[in-house]
Amino acid sequence: MASSGQGTARRAKIVATVGPASRDPEVLRQLFEAGVDVFRLNFAHGTPDEHAETVRRIRQTSKEVGREVGILGDLPGPKLRLGDLEGDIAVLHSGSTVRLRGETNGTPGNAELLTVQWDGFSKAVHEGDPVFLADGRVRMRVVSVAGNEVLCEIEAGGAVSSHQGVNLPGADADLPDTRVSDEPWMDFACDNGIDLLAVSFVRRPADLEKVEAHLKERRADIPLIAKIEKPQAAERAEEIIEKADSGIMIARGDLGVELPIEEVPGAQKRLIALAGRASKPSITATQMLATMVRATRPTRAEVTDVANAIYDGTDAVMLSEETAIGDHPVEAVRVMDRIARVTEPRLKYGELVFTRVEEHEHDVAETVAQVAVAACYRLGLKAIVCPTSSGRTARLISAHRPRVPVLAVSQRLETVRRMNLLFGISSTQAEDWTSIRKLLDDCAALARRQGIAESGDLVAITAGLPAQGVGTNLFEIHRVP
């Protein structure tokens, strides 16, 4: 029986990016054991063959360790990138100038001439515009534009490498279309059993609709996560969250380049709160334990950053470079796990039942979810068990932040894997039930077998009667046999 295997353990989820430092089967096994819930594949780096092999290794390791995890594919989106560089690196010095040329096929660049992988680059910038490289570590300003070349003065220098990102704060409408650049990776996701897709550089709900339309053509059911990394997305967050059923990723790297950096903490808190109000999960990402790319320990500020994201209500915390190219990928996950376990008991669980989520009249499933969580405090229930086909019921229960363990049960393996992203939810696969009585009895027995309740304990069980056509509409207090 497939299971996520979290039981009564950590509630906040850990997303880890797989890259050269973590693709080895033995390292993947150690990451499983350290507690990774979802593995992220960054499609902006690596080839389809490499990512297909990584998927195969994750699934194989999952079988060997007996625990299901989710696989999140991260679409590249319309991010501008540098072309090849001589020796793969160039050092830019403050106060000097450098030319940038937009081209898709050209000779390798150097410290005097950088190529940008977009023919329309020179038309998207104007004199005085800022241009940022390497996640904002290298900052330049446009001096002049002549034909296909842009002359920039380097205000803050540093090293840049081949294919690093180029940020143009304020330049939005002229960037390449996400659909064109991402379609091959959408097809890859469909063909390789990817569980979730993150859509990069979302600016409006229509950006998600383009991806949905292509997946519909492929008859694929892959939930989408909207990455919030543009100021336009932060401004339209409520519309985007409403559209993104599987939630949002707060990608602070690019968001911190295009917003004034001092505004990022406030934006993060607001986005997590908005996702919570809508009962949608949120992932807090980028540079959470950045020091551990090279060091064996994080800074105290980084530890505080992870804890504060959990205090604010994030469902998951994500490791990027730390596990993709870092020297200590497994230890980074272990540190993240320890931070979460110490932080979670201090959440104000009882208050969150009635304050975290926006209540909607006449939504039966939402009401049942809230009642089930509230009953745990009033009646001393030991756990909640929620059968679910799509995972929606589990998502609604998770949004109210129950203190007790929650076991989500689904007949669909892909749903079991996707629910690994939800705060406080462990999941397992079971056969469909022939009667509501058998469903209730089996769920109570599953709670005992999964170790979240003992014989004689009272548990809450939610369920849906299909004939009623209103989704989850049943709530029972059940004594575990």
**Cα–Cα distance list, 265 to 232, 268, 270 (Å):** 17, 5, 9
φ, ψ of residue 8 to 5 degrees: the values are: -95, 15
Active site residue 63: no
- Give 135's contacts (C-beta < 8 A, 6+ positions apart): 165, 167, 253, 254, 256, 257
Active site residue 269: no
- Give 373's contacts (C-beta < 8 A, 6+ positions apart): 353, 384, 397, 400, 401, 402
Catalytic member of 10, 11, 13, 40: 40
Are 371 and 326 in contact by the 8 Å Cβ rule? The answer is: no
Measured between alpha carbons, how far is 67 from 388 in angstroms, rounded to an integer?
19
Active site residue 280: no
For residue 148, count other CB atoms closer than 10 A to its CB: 14
Roughly what angle, to the nearest 10 degrees, separates helices 48-65 and 178-191? Answer: 40
- Specify the amino acid at residue 148: N
In the chain, what is the straight-line distance between the N-terminal and C-terminal CA atoms, in Å? 20
What is the Rg, in whole angstroms, of the alpha carbon atoms belonging to the chain?
Answer: 23
Catalytic member of 227, 230, 401, 418: 227
Token pair of 29, please? Answer: 């096994």
Are 158 and 91 in contact by the 8 Å Cβ rule? The answer is: yes
Measured between alpha carbons, how far is 186 from 48 in angstroms, rounded to an integer?
11
Active site residue 204: no
Catalytic member of 23, 29, 59, 81: 81
Catalytic member of 286, 343, 415, 428: 286
**Cα–Cα distance list, 190 to 73, 218, 453 (Å):** 10, 7, 38
Question: E strands within 53-169?
Answer: 70-74, 80-81, 89-92, 97-102, 113-116, 130-133, 138-146, 149-156, 158-161, 165-167
Measured between alpha carbons, how far is 340 from 346 in angstroms, rounded to an integer?
10
Measured between alpha carbons, how far is 202 from 180 in angstroms, rounded to an integer?
14
Are 174 and 207 in contact by the 8 Å Cβ rule? The answer is: no
- If residue 51 lies in a helix (H) or strand (E), which one and from where to where? helix 48-65
- The pairing of strands 196-199 and 70-74 is parallel
Active site residues: 40, 81, 227, 286
